[in-house]
Amino acid sequence: QARHPRLPLPRDLYRPQRENSRGIELGDRAALQRLVSEIATTRQALPKITSATPENAAAAVATARTGFVEWSRTPAATRASVLERAADLLDRRRARFIALLQDEGPKTLDDCISEVREAIDYCRYYAAEGRRLFGDGMAMPGPTGESNTLRLRGRGVVVAISPWNFPLAIFVGQIAAALMAGNSVVAKPAEQTPVIADAAVRLLHEAGVPHAALQLVQGDGAIGAALVAHRDVSGVVFTGSTEAARAINRTLAAKDGPIVPLIAETGGINAMIVDATALPEQVADDVVTSAFRSAGQRCSALRLLFVQDDVADRMIEMIAGSARELRIGDPRDPATQIGPVIDAEAKAKLDAHIARMTREARVHLAGTPPVDGNYVAPQIFELRDAAQLSEEVFGPILHVVRYPASGLDDMLGTIARSGYALTLGIHSRIDDTIARIIDRLAIGNVYVNRNMIGAVVGVQPFGGSGLSGTGPKAGGPHYLPRFALEQTVSINTAAAGGNAALLSGG
C-alpha cells in the first residue's frame, strides 16, 4: 500500500440526492407512510388493453398529420404551459401512478417514487427549455439593413417508441420533448406496460394536448415497425435494444421520400473501474446500487466491474456481503429492495445466463430467489476475461474481472473496443488516473467515486454513442433542437415599412 498516497477517510458514504424536485424525501418515514396508505386506496385491478392493428396504426399517423397543423402553430409558450399542467397533474396523482408502476412495472416503491418524479422533471425541464429555444428564435448578428433569425419549428409526425423499464418517465419524456418542439406524436409504448401508457396519455390530453396531436398505438414490435415504415412520419425517437434501433435505422434508410432522423438510446455493457486507492465501503455501496437496484433493469446499470488485483478479494467480499443483505420480494411491500424482473421470458433468459456463468466463471454470490414469480436473485461471477461477456445482460447479475496495476491501458482498450458507450464508473483517489480514464473513453455518462445510475433530468443529461445510441442526450440542452427543423429567415429591414416585427409572437 505504500505506493499509494494516504488520504483521509470520509465520515459518511456519499449517496446522491435523488429527490431533485418536489415530493417525498425517502427518509421521511411519516410522509412515506401517508403515501403508502394513499397508494393502497387508489389501487385498482389493471384493465385489459387490446393491441392496435396495422390499420389502426396507419389511421393514427393520418390523424397526427392533421393534428400537426394546429399544434405546430400553437405558440411555444402555450405548449410549455400544457406540459407544466401535465407535470402538476402527475404530481397530484402521484399515488395512482405509483400503484400502476408497482402493479404493472412491477417496480419497488423507491423506484416508483423516483420514476414519477422523473416524469414530472421531464415535463418541467422541456417546458423551460422550450420557452427559451422556441420563442422568438435566435437573432444572428450581421450586416445592417437586414435582420437574420434562426428559428426552430416542428418537423411533423414523430413516432415515439419507449421501453418497459421506465414505462412512465421515458414514455412521457419522449412525448414531452417531441410535443414541445412543435411536433405531433404517435406513441408506441412497450407491450409489457400498456396500462401505464394509457393513463399517461389520458393525463396529457386532460392537460391540454389536443387528441389529434397525441395518438396512442398499443402493440408489439411489429406495430412499431409499421409506424416507422409509414411514409408520413418525419422523425423517430426510440429507447430500447441496440438490435431494435438497427432495425429502425434499416427501415428508415429503405424508405422512399424524405430522410428521417432517428434519436436512439440503447444498451450498454457498462463498466466500473476500481483501483487500489478506492474507498472499500463507498465502492461496495455504489456497486450494489449500480448493479442491483431496479433488479439491474436499467440501461445505465453496472454489468462489468474491473478491480485492481491487489484489493480484489477484499472488495468482492464486501460487495457480496452487502448484496446478500438485499431484500427481494413483492414490490408492493415498501421494504422490498429488489422486485421481480419484467416477465417469464426475461427470467428464462437470465436463468440461462446464470447457468452458463455457473459453469464458466467463478461464483462469488449465487442468491436463491423466491419461488413464486419472476424473481432473479443477485449474482456475482468472476470472469477470466472481459470477452466472456459479449452482450448486455439485463438483470441483477454482476461480472467481475481483476486487472494488474500495470494493466490499466489494456483494460481501457478492452472497454473502448466493446463499442458500447453509455455509462462508466470510476473509483480512485488518484486524479491522474481518473483524468486518464475519462480522456481515453468517450463514454456518455461518467460517474466518479459514486454510483452510476439515476441520472437527474437537467443536471446529468443522459445518453451514449456507438452501440449505445445516437444521442442527443435526454434531459440535456441539445435534446429539443434535434426534434425540430431549423429555419433561417433573412429580411430586408430597410424596405419601406420594414418587416422587423414579422417574427414576433412565435
Residue the block writes with cell 425517437: 237
Asked if 473 touches ligand UN1 (CB under 6 A), the answer is no
Asked if 454 touches ligand UN1 (CB under 6 A), the answer is yes
Asked if 172 touches ligand UN1 (CB under 6 A), the answer is no
Cα–Cα separations (whole angstroms), residue 2 to 402, 416, 429: 21, 31, 14
Residue with smaller CB distance to ligand UN1, 34 or 478: 478
Smallest distance, ligand UN1 to C-beta of residue 280, A: 24
Nearest to 389 by CA among 418, 412, 348, 366: 418
- Looking at this protein, which amino acid is placed at residue 59? A
Contact by Cβ (8 Å): 505, 75: yes
Site for ligand UN1 in 40-59 (CB under 6 A): none
Q: Which stretch binds ligand UN1 (CB under 6 A): 62-70, 86-94, 294-302, 413-421?
A: 294-302
Smallest distance, ligand UN1 to C-beta of residue 239, A: 5
Site for ligand UN1 in 236-275 (CB under 6 A): 239
Smallest distance, ligand UN1 to C-beta of residue 290, A: 9
Asked if 108 touches ligand UN1 (CB under 6 A), the answer is no
Asked if 298 touches ligand UN1 (CB under 6 A), the answer is yes
* Structure-block grid coordinates of residue 223: 406495430
Q: Which stretch binds ligand UN1 (CB under 6 A): 275-283, 303-311, 408-416, 450-458?
A: 450-458
Residue with smaller CB distance to ligand UN1, 239 or 374: 239
Asked if 300 touches ligand UN1 (CB under 6 A), the answer is yes
Smallest distance, ligand UN1 to C-beta of residue 423, A: 7
Asked if 158 touches ligand UN1 (CB under 6 A), the answer is no
Q: What is the DSSP string of 282-312?
A: HHHHHHHHHHHGGGG-STT-EEEEEEEHHHH
Smallest distance, ligand UN1 to C-beta of residue 104, A: 17
Smallest distance, ligand UN1 to C-beta of residue 125, A: 13
Contact by Cβ (8 Å): 330, 336: yes
Residue with smaller CB distance to ligand UN1, 435 or 459: 459
Nearest to 306 by CA among 461, 433, 469: 433
Nearest to 87 by CA among 250, 267, 245, 207: 207
Given the residues 265, 317, 392, 486, the one annotated as active site: 265
User: How many C-beta atoms lie closer than 10 Å to residue 44's C-beta?
Assistant: 10
Asked if 190 touches ligand UN1 (CB under 6 A), the answer is no
* Structure-block grid coordinates of residue 115: 420514476
Cα–Cα separations (whole angstroms), residue 204 to 88, 213, 261, 357: 11, 11, 25, 45
Residue with smaller CB distance to ligand UN1, 310 or 391: 391
Asked if 164 touches ligand UN1 (CB under 6 A), the answer is no
Residue with smaller CB distance to ligand UN1, 401 or 455: 455
Residue with smaller CB distance to ligand UN1, 163 or 189: 163
Smallest distance, ligand UN1 to C-beta of residue 150, A: 30
475: left (phi over 0), alpha (psi -120 to 50) or beta: left
Residues 424 and 302: their CA atoms lie apart, in Å, by 8
Beta pairing, strands 157-161 & 397-403: unpaired
Q: Which stretch binds ligand UN1 (CB under 6 A): 162-170, 326-334, 353-361, 486-494?
A: 162-170
Position among 164, 462, 479, 483 found at the interface with ligand UN1 (CB under 6 A): 462
Q: Identify whether 265 is a catalytic site residue.
A: yes
Position among 20, 63, 102, 165 found at the interface with ligand UN1 (CB under 6 A): 165
Give the phi and the psi of residue 130 in degrees, each rounded to 5: -65, -40
Asked if 122 touches ligand UN1 (CB under 6 A), the answer is no
Asked if 299 touches ligand UN1 (CB under 6 A), the answer is yes
Position among 134, 166, 375, 479 found at the interface with ligand UN1 (CB under 6 A): 166
Asked if 453 touches ligand UN1 (CB under 6 A), the answer is yes
Contacts 24+ apart (CB under 8 A), 460-464: 462/265, 462/300, 463/265, 463/422, 464/265, 464/266, 464/268, 464/420, 464/421, 464/422, 464/423
Total of chain residues touching ligand UN1, rule CB under 6 A: 11
Q: Which stretch binds ligand UN1 (CB under 6 A): 63-71, 136-144, 160-168, 327-335?
A: 160-168
Separation of CA 432 from chain center = 30
b/e string for 229-250 if b means 16 or more Cβ within 10 A? Answer: bbeebbbbbbbbbbebbebbbe
Q: Identify whether 299 is a catalytic site residue.
A: yes
Residue the block writes with cell 422486485: 339
Residues 344 and 339: their CA atoms lie apart, in Å, by 13
Residues that bind ligand UN1 (CB under 6 A): 163, 165-166, 239, 298-300, 453-455, 462
Catalytic machinery residues? 265, 299
